[in-house]
């Protein structure tokens, strides 16, 4: 166990790096229309600027987690952020859209910093302080996007989208140097060889599935190419399971999924991820739709509105982390599910001005924090040390699949329930475009409430524990 000073330095460094990674991923969003115009491409193609990062990152998380268990978490973490920083540099000098998509795919390796960081502080901090530290790291999932929307919007508007990457590269290089100096090395926990065959079929399972979910709203769900992706994913998953059962040193020991809390954390992570991103995707559209169909805000105004949400999550996160030591995760998961349901209900009922929307989102965000942190903690403490990195990486992968399903649900509702946006021009009513109507957002929030209720049911199966006195309930 390292000294308290070394542990705190490591935590601060990891927090800054995760904030930067989440900042970069959100700052890209305001830039997408300008990227589309500059490269004279389509909305479907430019969507891969975000999809490439997500898909590569989802696959990299469990694989890098396993590499961290095998070769040392700090070494693998530095490799991850090294590739990430290089890709950020390349993205800012992209000569065409395909080069940018490639750079964004390489940036996806930085996605694995979150499970690696969680595994590092779980190994580094004493058990009674692990959940608190995990709460601080989890808060970066809110702080980074808030900064990305705010600062990124101004940079894109005033300097151009390449400068968003240029400035991020400078910050990332500084943090790479700081990371190399101050992060404590965690020795390898296992001598097992890397199961590259299993990793290959895991990749062939996840990539087609995420491509299917990403492309579905644009190219259709039942086209030959889309159905082919699903078939490849299903067959690869079957082979992956077969390989893992017969390999002496598997990528992930399947028997570990029999651990009740690990299974609960993965199922709840999938459900809550879908519910959270369903809400945020729908809300992003609603805030910017013209009145009376939405609030008619600009991107910058939308970012300012969401800033208090990030602040609440940053404050509540460490508090929830401390509560885990005294209450255990089960009560927090139950309370978080209920609070999230209340938040979604408020958004469905009261969303006619900025203050009503802000209240609903604040309540929902407070509930989601009560879910995110206990779920991460449950994975970390349920697994043996030699499987901790890969286990947290698999949980990140599963939550990523959930977060990919959420926007799909939102898109389906927004495409299904529409109305005409009309303008009165010299007393002549002119239909301009189709936009989502009230029913689209109502069904969205009702679905989110149903998902949180299902999450509540799953949470009841948690085997509670209190770290302070090793109590089990």
Residues 216-240: tens digit of each pLDDT: 777 778 889 899 999 999 999 999 9
Residues 350-389: tens digit of each pLDDT: 888 999 999 999 999 899 989 989 998 999 888 888 788 8
Return the minimum-mean-pLDDT range out of 262-266, 294-298, 445-449, 457-461.
294-298
Q: Is residue 469 scored above 60 in pLDDT?
A: no
Instruction: Considering only CA atoms, give the Rg of the chain.
Output: 22
**Average model confidence (pLDDT) for the chain?**
86
3-state DSSP call for residue 432? strand
Return the minimum-mean-pLDDT range out of 20-34, 71-85, 231-245, 337-351.
20-34
Asked if 107 and 88 count as a contact pair (C-beta separation under 8 A), the reply is: yes
Tell me the CA distances in angstroms from 432 to 163, 425, 429, 463, one per residue in order. 34, 11, 9, 55
Backbone angles phi, psi at 436, to 5 degrees: -60, 140
Question: What integer pLDDT is reported at residue 189 of this predicted model?
Answer: 66
1-194 placed in CATH 1.10.8.640? no
Question: What integer pLDDT is reported at residue 424 of this predicted model?
Answer: 62
Asked if 19 and 175 count as a contact pair (C-beta separation under 8 A), the reply is: no
**DSSP codes, 346-385:** HHHH--SSHHHHHHHHHHHHHHHHHHHHHHHHHHHHHS-G
Residues 312-327: tens digit of each pLDDT: 888 888 899 889 988 9
Asked if 328 and 473 count as a contact pair (C-beta separation under 8 A), the reply is: yes
d(CA 112, CA 63): 9
255-473 placed in CATH 1.20.1250.20? yes
Residues 128-174: tens digit of each pLDDT: 888 888 888 888 877 777 777 778 778 877 888 899 899 999 999 99
Q: Angle between the 97-107 and 73-92 helix axes, to the nearest 10 degrees?
A: 160
Q: Nearest Cα to 112, choosing from 63, 152, 42, 163?
A: 63
């Amino acid at each position: 166990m390292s000294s308290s000073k070394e542990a705190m330095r490591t935590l601060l460094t990891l927090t800054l790096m995760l904030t930067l990674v989440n900042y970069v991923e959100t700052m890209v969003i305001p830039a997408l229309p300008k990227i589309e115009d500059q490269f004279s491409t389509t909305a479907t193609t430019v969507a891969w600027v975000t999809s490439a990062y997500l898909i590569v990152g989802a696959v990299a998380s469990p694989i890098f987690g396993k590499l961290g268990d095998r070769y040392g978490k700090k070494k693998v973490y530095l490799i991850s952020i090294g590739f990430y920083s290089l890709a950020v540099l390349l993205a800012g000098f992209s000569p065409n859209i395909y080069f940018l998509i490639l750079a964004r795919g390489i940036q996806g390796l930085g996605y694995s910093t979150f499970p690696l960081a969680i595994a590092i502080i779980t190994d580094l901090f004493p058990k009674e302080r692990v959940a608190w530290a995990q709460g601080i790291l989890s808060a970066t999932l809110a702080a980074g996007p808030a900064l990305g929307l705010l600062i990124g919007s101004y940079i894109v508007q005033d300097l151009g989208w390449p400068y968003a990457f240029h400035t991020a590269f400078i910050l990332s290089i500084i943090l790479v140097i700081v990371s190399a100096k101050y992060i404590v090395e965690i020795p390898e926990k296992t001598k097992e060889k890397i199961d590259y065959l299993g990793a290959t079929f895991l990749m062939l399972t996840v990539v087609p599935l995420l491509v299917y979910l990403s492309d579905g709203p644009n190219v259709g769900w039942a086209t030959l190419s889309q159905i082919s992706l699903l078939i490849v994913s299903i067959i690869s998953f079957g082979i992956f399971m077969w390989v893992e059962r017969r390999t002496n040193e598997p990528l992930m020991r399947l028997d570990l999924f029999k651990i009740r809390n690990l299974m609960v954390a993965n199922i709840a992570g999938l459900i809550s991820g879908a519910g959270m991103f369903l809400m945020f995707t729908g809300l992003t559209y609603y805030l910017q739709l013209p009145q009376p169909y939405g609030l008619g805000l600009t991107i910058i105004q939308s970012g300012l509105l969401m800033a208090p949400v990030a602040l609440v999550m940053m404050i509540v996160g460490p508090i929830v982390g401390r509560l885990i030591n005294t209450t255990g995760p089960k009560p927090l998961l139950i309370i978080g599910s209920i609070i999230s349901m209340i938040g979604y209900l408020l958004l469905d009922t009261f969303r006619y001005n900025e203050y009503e929307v802000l209240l609903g989102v604040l309540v929902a965000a407070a509930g989601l924090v009560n879910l995110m942190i206990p779920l991460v903690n449950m994975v970390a403490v349920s697994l043996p040390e030699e499987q901790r990195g890969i286990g947290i990486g698999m949980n990140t992968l599963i939550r990523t699949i959930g977060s990919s399903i959420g926007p799909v649900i939102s898109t389906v509702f927004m495409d299904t329930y529409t109305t005409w946006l009309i303008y009165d021009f010299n007393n002549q009513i002119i239909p301009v475009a189709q936009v989502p109507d009230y029913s689209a957002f109502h069904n969205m929030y009702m679905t989110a409430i149903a998902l949180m209720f299902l999450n509540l049911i799953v949470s009841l199966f948690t085997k509670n524990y209190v770290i302070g006195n090793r109590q089990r309930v």
